[in-house]
Every structure is written in structure tokens, then in C-alpha cells.
A and B are shown apart, each in its own frame.
Chain A
Amino acid sequence: MPQVEPVTQKQSGDPNRRSFLAGLLAAGSATVGALLAIPLVRFTLHPVLARTTDKSWSDVGKVDEFQNLDAPVKKLVTIEQRDGWRRTMTEKPVYVSKDAQGQLIVLSAVCTHLGCSVPFVEKERRFICPCHLGNFAPDGTLLSGPPPRSMDRLETKIEDGTLKTQYQFFRQLTHTKEELA
């Protein structure tokens, strides 16, 4: 039990000392409060700061089936996305085609203009976007229309005879290809 000082009903001590103590207490509590707030802030900012950007590779198909490609073929790739504590698996359409050197390339079917899904029109032998009639060559090169750039090529690799791609989204309406996280 602490020593009880002789006390009077009203507090003794001069006002300056009392308000100095009040200031000290206020500053002390503010400091402790700020310290305690740190974990709360970090907790809240987690989804903003610790973004998981590790992109995953999705299978497109066996390389063999693309060997004798004479027109782009549409494939659905399954991509896995993290959404906080859940993951979603969605299918995205891509086109497998060949570049000028005859190498396999994978194109995102998302139009670089405003993001419509671009189909390959067999009869015209080109991609024609149904929304504003952007035209692209079979290798994705921009031919005509409002899109600012050619169709976006996705990263590819071949593993054990399987063509794989890294599906990504890119910013629309820009002249250069910019990744979206």
C-alpha cells in the first residue's frame, strides 16, 4: 500500500506545476497511443503493401498441335488469381499465332482500345474488334481503327513440349504496353 500523503480537499501545488504535469501526461499518452497504432496501421495496409504479384504460368496446349498453324487459334487458359484469402480460377481467351520468324506467340484477346474481346475473322484473315472495328493482322500487328497499339503479346515458354503463358492485363488506350498489377 502506498504511503498516503497528508491531503487536503483541494489540490495543493502551484498551477504551473499542475499544467506541466498535465502536458507531460498528454504527451506520454500520445506517444504510447502512436506506438500502439503502428501494428494497427500495418495490419490495415497489408493488402496495399504486400501485393502478391507472382504471376503464374498457365498451360496453353501441346506444342505439337500448333506446329502447322496457318491461322491464329483461340485457346482458353486457366488463370489463378489471389483475392485476399481466396483464390479464383478463371478462364481467359488467348490466341496462339506465329510471328514473322515463324515463332509461336500468344496474344491476349483483350482489345488495346477499350478492352473488348477480339475475335479472329477467318474470312478476312485478320482480327476484327466488334466494338469499334479495330483491325489487327494474324500476328497481332495493328492495321487500322482506333486501337493505339498492336495486340498484346504474353510471355511464353515451352516446358516438356507444352506451351505455357503468363496471363496478364495491360493498360488500355496507351501507345506502349504497360502491365497492370
Chain B
Amino acid sequence: MSADGKESKSGFRAWLDHRTGLDSLLRHTLDEPIPGGAKIAYVFGSGLLFLFLSQIVTGVFLAMYYVPSADHAHTTVAYITKEVTGGSFLRSIHAYGSSAIIIVLLLHMTQTFLYGSYKGRRELVWVAGCVLLALMLGMAFTGYLLPWDQKAFFATTVGTNILSEIPWVGNGLKELLRGGTEMGTLTVSRFFVLHVFVIPACIFAFVAIHVYSFRKAGAAGPATEDPVSPKLPAETFYPKQLVMDMGFATLIIVLLGLVAYFWPMDLGPRADPADTQFMPRPEWYYVPVFQYLKYWHGSTALLGILVIPGIVGLLLVGLPFFDRSLERRPWKRPISVGLFTIVLLGLAALGVSSYRQDMRNPGVAAQLRAQQEATKEFMNAKFEPELSGSSLSAQNVALSNPEAAKGKEIFEAQSCNACHGDNGVGTAAAPKLVGVGAKYDAARIAALLNTPSAKMTAGGMPPVQLKDDEMKPLIAYLQSLN
């Protein structure tokens, strides 16, 4: 395309090029010189761009069914996962895509670091890259809440609680992010807006800065190359590097597709803020941070949560400013390479110790297993459409029966709803009561309330001792639940 750039073009192409300058732009892109030639090591950047595009496309499609509100978020994600054709697959691609981005980001960063490719007038490339890393972590954090299942809810509760450790402004920040003191429907809206509009817009901007400043400074080439005035003969981006980049993109999408197909992303039971047992565990890439935060409490919290991460972050972002030497070969840069390795190993060690702690503590391990069971059970259950609020609900019809209405009061006064959920919809702690009327008659329900079965007792159900004039309405209410 370069050698024969002035070839005669057909009418339409000539016109289009005249109006848009597309050809010269394309030529400029494809003829980017790479000192020392194309290398597999350079594929990660474009791999990230490809993954980001995949996230945009799958995200836009998921938004076709998703509703960002505490009432509907979980139902709509369950609908996508269980009913919509290809929904589970697309959602899995999107959800695992975030993990893939973190992995490729780490590879990209490590490659850039080891090759010293941030050196020699490339400060802006590096800084924009660091901002992109933070933005991607923000995407992962905000996206995690959106399905509004148990783990999403509790992981985000913990995640946003960390903010309140920051002195002076911490609580204000937390409330700003949550849209109130507690997690609720406003939190979903805010996270949705951040995840879908604000952060992606910032990512676009910083990708532009990153790529532009990279092209301005030029490809750095291998670690032995002079970062300012390259000496090695250059090869153009097209065709070899382009083919490698495309091959890498294909590899990514094939791997993602296989994982999404054979191990689809699951969805847990709907978030139940009243649950006091649930133990949230973050996604793997947040586990080291999660573990790290465990060590800082009370008076040292400030040091651990603000000062140390602040220093590490500053060192990372400011790297090309502190490290001004033009020496790129990693074996000649023991201090920075050593520090980088220590940080990476430290993060890995934190992650491993977190998993080991969970496994060693039998109580925690049992609870985590129970949570997994609950998720599996929810995944196996058929999709249950949500009863629209505007439709005349069976419950209200039933409650026109004054006896049942009184029973509802007793149900709540006895705190039955604490475990069985409001309107007996069930929670993680106790099964739903909706439909018991169809399963058991009044006498059987009364008997079970008086003397719960062994299985019920094991589940924590206490015997209910009520006088007849309260027991009757309660049973009437239970029978009305369907």
C-alpha cells in the first residue's frame, strides 16, 4: 500500500479519500515503523483494544435486556442468563472479558516495563496507560454490582465501605457513590451510569492520548534499542505485526468463547440486604487488595489504606519521571526491575494467602460452600418472571380476606419474614413459603408450626406457639401466598 500508494484509484475510492483522507490515515497507521521488526511481545496493546471493543459490543447488547434498578436488575440478568437465546454466552463473554482485560493489562504492563519501553520522551504514554489501568479496575468494580445478586451486593458493600476509612471526606465519598448511606436502587443507577457512560468515555479519551503519544514518540523496539533515536532497521506494522496482532485477537476470542461456552458465568440468588451470614469474596484480581486490607485496622488503617497505596501508586505513575536513564536492558536495571517483581510477587502472595485462609477456616469454608450451593440451586431453577407492580397481584386479592390480612401482621410481628422474606418469598436463610397452601392443608401447617420437622429444626426453624385466634389468621395468610 505504501509502495504503490499513488496507484490509480477507482472513482468511489478516490472520492472517499478526497473527502476523508482515509487512505492516507490508513497508510499512516499501517506503515508505522517498528525498529527491529515485528514481535509477538508487542501484541498485548492491540489485544487490549480488541477486548475493550468486545466489551463495548457485548455490553451494548446486554443493555437491551438489562434494567438498572434494585427491583429489576436481578430479574433481568436472570432472564438474560436463563431465557434469552445466547444470553448466558454473551453475558459470560462480557463477564470473563473483564478478567481477560486484567490479564492482558498485566502482560502489557510487564512487557513495557521489562523492555523499558516507557523511557525516552514516553512519559505521557506511560501515565495515560496507568490511568487506563485504574479506569479498567473501575469498570470491573462498577460492573460487578450490576447483576445485584448476593455476591455483587455484599462485595460492593465491603468495597464501598473501604472509602469511609479515608479521613474527612471518606464518608461523604461513600455516600456520594452509593447515593445514600445504604446500598440501594440509587447505587445501582450510579454504578450503571459510571459503568456505561462515564468510565467508558474516559477510557476513549485516554486510549486516544495513549495511542497518539505512543505514535508521536514512535515504537520503542527491543530492549537493546536506543529509545530516542532508534538504530535498528525498521519494519512496518503492516503486514507482519498486523497479522500477529490479529492472530492474538483471534486467540483471545476463541479462548473466551470456549470458557464462556463450557463454564458459563453463574448468577447467585437475588441480593438480600437482611442476610447477615453472607461472606463476600471479590473477583480474583481484587483478592490481593482484599487480603491486604485485612491487615490494617484502627490507628494503622490510615497508613495501610491511604499512605502505602498512595506511595506505590505514585511510584508507578511517576516511573518515567523518576527513572530518567536511557538504559533499557532489564538486567542493567536491578532496582526498578526488583521493585516491580517484589510488588507483583507480593500481590500474588496476598492472593494465595487469602485463598489458604479461607480453606483453613472450616466455618468460612463451609459458608463459602453453602453459598456455592445456593448459587447452583438458583441456576438450576427455572426462570421466574417478575409480577408486574401494576398488575393486580394475587397477594392483594388474597389479602382482601381480612383474616389473611391479620395473618400478615402476625407474620411480620413474629419476624417470620426475617428468614422467610417479606411476603414469604424466601431468603438464603430459609425457604420460600409461597405455595405452601397448595402443598399442605391447614391442619398440616398448624402441626408443622407447632412441632417443626427434624429438617426444619436443623435449618433453624423454631416452634411457633400461638393462641388459636392468632394461629388461624397466620395459616390463612400462609395459604393465601401463591
- Which residues of A line the B interface, CB within 8 A? 1-2, 4-11, 15, 18-19, 21-22, 25, 28-29, 32, 36, 39-40, 42-46, 49-50, 78, 82-91
CA distance A32 to B90 in the complex (A): 16
B412-448 interface bits toward A, Cβ cutoff 8 Å, 1 = contact, 0 = none: 0000000000000000000000000000000000000
Tell me whether B392 is interfacial, beta carbon within 8 Å.
Answer: yes
Across the two chains, which residue of chain B brings its CB closest to A37?
B57
Tell me whether B323 is interfacial, beta carbon within 8 Å.
Answer: no
Tell me whether B126 is interfacial, beta carbon within 8 Å.
Answer: no
- Number of A-B residue pairs with CB-CB distance less than 8 Å in the complex they form: 118
Across the two chains, which residue of chain A brings its CB closest to B72?
A85
Across the two chains, which residue of chain B brings its CB closest to A16?
B4
**Distance between A13 CB and nearest chain B CB, rounded to angstroms:** 8
**Distance between A91 CB and nearest chain B CB, rounded to angstroms:** 6
Tell me whether B236 is interfacial, beta carbon within 8 Å.
Answer: yes
* Residue from B72, B83, B383 whose CB has the most chain A CB atoms within 10 Å: B83
CA distance A85 to B84 in the complex (A): 10
A sample of 6 more A-B contacts (CB under 8 A), given A25-B246, A39-B86, is A1-B40, A11-B2, A15-B7, A19-B1, A84-B79, A86-B388
Tell me whether B143 is interfacial, beta carbon within 8 Å.
Answer: no
Evaluate whether A43 and B72 lie within 8 angstroms (CB atoms) in the complex, with A4-B39, A5-B37, A9-B234 already known.
no
**Distance between A63 CB and nearest chain B CB, rounded to angstroms:** 22
Asked if A85 and B85 sit within 8 Å, CB to CB, the answer is no
**Distance between A50 CB and nearest chain B CB, rounded to angstroms:** 6
Asked if A89 and B61 sit within 8 Å, CB to CB, the answer is no
**Distance between B110 CB and nearest chain A CB, rounded to angstroms:** 15
CA distance A85 to B250 in the complex (A): 34
CA distance A10 to B3 in the complex (A): 8
Tell me whether B243 is interfacial, beta carbon within 8 Å.
Answer: yes
Evaluate whether A2 and B39 lie within 8 angstroms (CB atoms) in the complex, with A84-B65, A85-B385 already known.
yes
Tell me whether B41 is interfacial, beta carbon within 8 Å.
Answer: yes
Asked if A40 and B391 sit within 8 Å, CB to CB, the answer is no
Partner of A5 from B1, B89, B90, B235 at Cβ < 8 Å: B235
Number of interface residues of B (CB under 8 A): 50
Partner of B1 from A18, A32, A36, A86 at Cβ < 8 Å: A18
CA distance A78 to B79 in the complex (A): 24
Asked if A89 and B394 sit within 8 Å, CB to CB, the answer is yes
B75-100 interface bits toward A, Cβ cutoff 8 Å, 1 = contact, 0 = none: 11011000111110110000000000
**Distance between B107 CB and nearest chain A CB, rounded to angstroms:** 15
Q: In residues 116-147 of chain B, which contact A (Cβ within 8 Å)?
A: none
**Distance between A172 CB and nearest chain B CB, rounded to angstroms:** 24
Asked if B90 and A40 sit within 8 Å, CB to CB, the answer is yes
Asked if B2 and A43 sit within 8 Å, CB to CB, the answer is no
Across the two chains, which residue of chain A brings its CB closest to B31?
A11
Tell me whether B20 is interfacial, beta carbon within 8 Å.
Answer: no
Partner of A46 from B84, B89, B390, B391 at Cβ < 8 Å: B84
Tell me whether B238 is interfacial, beta carbon within 8 Å.
Answer: yes
Write out the residue numbers on chain A whose beta carbons fall within 8 Å of the beta carbon of B390: 88
Asked if B79 and A85 sit within 8 Å, CB to CB, the answer is yes
